[in-house]
């Protein structure tokens, strides 16, 4: 019974819930970026590079036992049991990673900018003097120390 209570307290903490929400949103964001890369970015790049379909850009390392090559697509090669080196899928994953890493970098950068608090305005060094009684820094025009309330000359 105590274990269930501890787990409930753990799960209801703000950080755990925030983390869960972040994971769900991150998964959805990853799916959007994957679609962006696979369906929007890579087709024009493949067209420019000579009609390369990156999702079907692969090298056969060993022909399949069910059917001999050449294979028209990666799906056909896998269906035949061929061992392939999927270069195009790896390139797609690299581009997706780059986009996600850049988006996270921009998000963290903007959050850090919002968190940055301006330092409290302190008088310039020339306008500060030291209290001879408590040794705290006080404005040079002060006649009484705000820390020890000593009267200054």
Condensed to tens digits (0 to 9), the pLDDT of residues 123-139 reads 565 688 888 888 888 88
Distance from the Cα of residue 32 to its chain's centroid: 15
Model confidence at 119: pLDDT above 70: no
Residue of 112, 93, 102 whose CA lies nearest to 41: 93
Q: CA-to-CA distance for 145 and 26, rounded, in angstroms?
A: 54
pLDDT for the residue numbered 65: 86
Please say whether the beta carbons of 99 and 36 come within 8 A: yes
pLDDT for the residue numbered 107: 83
Q: What is the pTM of this model?
A: 0.57
What is the chain's mean pLDDT, rounded? 84
pLDDT for the residue numbered 122: 61
In the block, residue with structure tokens 């998964």: 27
Please say whether the beta carbons of 69 and 52 come within 8 A: no
Q: CA-to-CA distance for 138 and 62, rounded, in angstroms?
A: 80
CB hemisphere CA count around 86 (13 angstroms):
14
Residues 6-64 pLDDT 10s: 887 777 776 777 788 888 988 898 899 889 888 898 889 888 988 888 888 899 999 98
Model confidence at 118: pLDDT above 90: no
pLDDT for the residue numbered 59: 92
Count CB neighbours of 67 within 10 A: 13
Residues 76-100 pLDDT 10s: 999 999 999 999 999 989 998 998 8
Q: 81: which 2 tokens? A: 């049991």
Least confident stretch, 12-16, 63-67, 100-104, 141-145: 12-16
Domains and CATH numbers, the chain: 2-121 (1.10.1200.120), 122-153 (no CATH)
């Amino acid at each position: 019974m105590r274990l269930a209570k501890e787990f409930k307290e753990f799960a209801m903490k703000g950080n755990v819930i925030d983390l869960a929400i972040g994971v769900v949103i991150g998964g959805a964001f990853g799916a959007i970026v994957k679609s962006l890369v696979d369906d929007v970015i890579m087709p024009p790049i493949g067209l420019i590079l000579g009609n390369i379909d990156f999702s079907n850009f692969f090298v056969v390392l060993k022909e399949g036992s069910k059917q001999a090559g050449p294979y028209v697509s990666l799906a056909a090669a896998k269906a035949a049991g061929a061992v392939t080196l999927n270069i195009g899928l790896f390139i797609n994953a690299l581009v997706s990673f780059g986009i996600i890493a850049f988006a996270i970098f921009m998000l963290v950068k903007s959050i850090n900018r919002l968190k940055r608090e301006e330092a409290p305005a302190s008088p310039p060094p020339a306008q500060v003097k030291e209290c001879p009684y408590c040794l705290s820094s006080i404005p040079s025009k002060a006649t009484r120390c705000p820390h020890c309330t000593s009267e200054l000359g």
